[in-house]
Amino acid sequence: MNQRYYILDLIRGFAVVLMVIFHFCYDLDVLKLHDFDMRSTFWHYFPRLIVFLFLFCVGVSQKISYSTPLEWKKIFKRVRQMAFFALLISLGTYFLFPKNWIYFGTLHCIAVISLLGPWFLEKPILSWGIISLFPTSYLFFDLSLEKLSLMPEITSMDYIPLYPWLWVTLLGQQMAKLILKIKLNPNKLFSLLEYLGKHSLKVYLLHQVILFSFLWLIAKFI
Task: Give the structural domain span for 65.
Answer: 3-221
Q: Which of 36-50, 87-101, 128-142, 171-185 has the lowest mean pLDDT?
A: 128-142
**Apex 114 CA angle, 119 and 44, nearest 5:** 115
Q: Is 70 exceeded by the pLDDT of residue 135?
A: no
Q: Is 90 exceeded by the pLDDT of residue 184?
A: no
Sign of CA dihedral 152, 154, 155, 156: positive
The number of folded domains in the chain is 1
pLDDT value at position 115? 95
pLDDT, tens digit (0-9, with 9 covering 90-100), for 42-63: 998 899 999 999 999 999 999 9
pLDDT, tens digit (0-9, with 9 covering 90-100), for 67-120: 778 888 889 999 999 999 999 999 999 998 899 999 999 999 999 999 999 999
| Residues comprising the chain, all counted | 222
Please report, for residues 87, 93, 100, the alpha-carbon distance to residue 53 in angstroms, rounded to integers and kept in the order given. 22, 24, 24
pLDDT value at position 26? 94
As a whole number of angstroms, the distance between CA 117 and CA 99 comes to: 31
Q: Is 50 exceeded by the pLDDT of residue 2?
A: no
Q: Is 60 exceeded by the pLDDT of residue 65?
A: yes
Residue 17: HSE in the Cβ half-sphere, 13 Å Cα cutoff: 14
Closest CA to 208 of 82, 119, 109, 107: 107
Peptide bond before residue 47 is cis, with ω within 30 degrees of 0: no
As a whole number of angstroms, the distance between CA 82 and CA 106 comes to: 10
The answer to whether 54 and 168 have CB atoms below 8 angstroms apart is: no
Q: Which of 140-149, 157-166, 182-191 has the lowest mean pLDDT?
A: 140-149
